[in-house]
């Protein structure tokens, strides 16, 4: 029995979709995800293309100018890893406000047709997000100093 194994260029349309994502392009999610795909990040765990679209739609309601930039990709059979940088501005902060940058990665399992069947995002919410918040950041940074190994 022959099994179709995605080729390296299989990731090209996936990466392109993430890097050029807009609210309008969310309608194209069915080209990227299978109908019953599973998605998990530090805040969400959902199944199904509609629920995944909702996660990304919610992102556009929470932040301004969100943008993914993929810096590395790895493909081994149907398993893939994308290393990315996600940048955005805080909602209502204006175009001159500081850009927030989160570094992370996505572990993907691809279906036979090359679409994403399983997607898990990994990024450090403490360092990449909470530590940058005014009040909570003070506590997070204190905890980081307290737990850091002595040098």
Contact 120, 107 (CB under 8 A): yes
Question: Using one digit for the tens of pLDDT, what is the confidence trace for 62-83?
Answer: 999 999 999 999 999 999 999 9
Partnered with residue 121 across adjacent β-strands are: 106
Question: Could you give the residue ranges of the DSSP H alpha helices within the chain?
Answer: 11-19, 29-32, 49-62, 125-128, 134-147
How far apart, in Å, are the Cα atoms of 140 and each of 1, 10, 106? 53, 40, 25
Write down the pLDDT at residue 137. 66
Instruction: Name all domains of the chain by residue range, CATH numbers in brackets.
Output: 8-123 (3.10.450.50)
Low-confidence ranges of the chain (pLDDT < 70): 1-8, 93-96, 126-137, 139-140, 143-144
Question: Using one digit for the tens of pLDDT, what is the confidence trace for 41-68?
Answer: 999 999 999 999 999 999 999 999 999 9
Q: Which residues of 5-16 are buried (b: 16+ CB within 10 A; e: fewer)?
A: ebeeebbeebbe
DSSP state string for 71-109: EEEEEETTEEEEEEEEEEEETTS-TTSPPEEEEEEEEEE
């Amino acid at each position: 029995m022959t099994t179709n194994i995605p080729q390296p260029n299989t990731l090209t349309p996936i990466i392109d979709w993430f890097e050029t994502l807009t609210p309008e392009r969310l309608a194209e999610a069915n080209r990227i995800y299978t109908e019953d795909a599973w998605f998990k990040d530090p805040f969400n765990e959902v199944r199904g293309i509609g629920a995944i679209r909702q996660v990304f739609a919610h992102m556009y309601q929470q932040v301004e100018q969100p943008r993914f930039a993929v810096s590395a990709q790895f493909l081994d059979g149907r398993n893939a890893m994308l290393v990315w940088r996600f940048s955005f501005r805080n909602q209502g902060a204006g175009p001159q406000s500081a850009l927030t940058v989160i570094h992370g990665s996505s572990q993907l399992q691809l279906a036979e047709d090359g679409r994403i069947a399983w997607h898990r995002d990994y990024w450090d919410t403490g360092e990449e997000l909470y530590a940058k918040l005014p009040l909570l950041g003070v506590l997070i940074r204190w905890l980081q100093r307290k737990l850091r190994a002595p040098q």
